[in-house]
Structure 1
Amino acid sequence: MLGYAVFSIVFFGVLLFWPAGTFDYWQAWVFIAVFVVATMIPTVYLAVKYPDALRRRTRSGPFAESRPAQRLINVGIILTTVAAAVLSALDHRFGWSAVPIAVVIVGNVLVVGGLAIAEATVVQNNYAAATITVEADQPVVSTGLYGMVRHPMYVGALIMMTGVPLALGSYWALLTLIPGVAVFVARITDEEKALREELAGYDEYIQKVPYRLVPGVW
């Protein structure tokens, strides 16, 4: 857990302060602090209460995926994350955006809210892994957040993705939402193909909860 916190600090530190050309970037410092705290608290909770769920969540990345399409999609998610951070930092460096403090605060709230939804999803469904896998005894979860949309974890991820550029003081970096949404749509489409083939009862769940991400839309 400590290793993950250190990795997050170094990862975002390099992506933000290097292209920004300065450490005088208070939005980046606040974002890193918010992100680390907002991820470490639920990680500790999962480690104590649901260690199997934490194990599934920490096994991630392109090489952890068994489906070729998901390997490519995973790379797309990483590149989108990197692009959002770097573009935000360049925006700070060259002063392209004038983002009020209130909007920066809203951005951090969205980051925390998105992470909270993702973690609540894991608590409700301990099989919500970071990779697309179906285990032998895995049940279909259809209550709680799963009673509203079929992929609440990705709802949380997209909310966080929206908040990151604002938290970092950039409007231009919101453009990364376009490829970001496209990548998640591709991930969901391929994931549901696997779930319909391998997870008993998923077809019936689709009939019960027709929307993937946004109720009434898709």
Structure 2
Amino acid sequence: MEGTVKAAAAVRAEVGAPDIVVHTLGGSSSPPGGYAVLDDKYWDAELQLNLLAAVRLDRALLPAMIQNGYGAVVHVSSIQRRMPLHEATLGYAAAKAALTTYSKGLSNEVAASGIRVNVVSPGAIRTAGADHLAERIAVARGISHDEAWQEILASRGGVPLQRAAEPAEVAELVAFLVSDKAAAITGAEFTIDGSTVPTI
């Protein structure tokens, strides 16, 4: 909580009211093993990192944006909100589902004030965090890092595009959503997953 308050204060001191807020923070440090190993400490950590950090940042920055009557917010969720890896990241998936629901409600609340709120939900992305997840699975299962990556992709039924997306590809989507080219888009979720989620 303290970090969010400090970050928001630094933004306000540097630029006043921001025009754009992109919340990308997320991840999981919970052990694999499903619901049985997730005590309240792990649940709290998942909710703090994957939901409440965004809520706090919005609460700190939105008032000035609303006063200006203009702005765009993007929250980064995950396809795991729809396809949870119950063995490895159940708490993370639940927290990201809550973030997506919160984002929809927030978009309805602030739209009349000129603020747009959208969600980007990545699938497999070649990030340091994804590599860390693969490493945790590898250690827990006694398999190689590459085998763990293949299990992650296979657990989703595979990735029809046959590769994970690069971080820059996600950034391009976010850049569009915060631009004036997306001025009529709010309250929407955009999936970037190589067609992993089997439905639209």
Q: Is this a same-fold pair by TM over 0.5?
A: no
TM-score by length of 1: 0.32
Bigger strand share = 2
Q: Which has the higher helix share?
A: 1
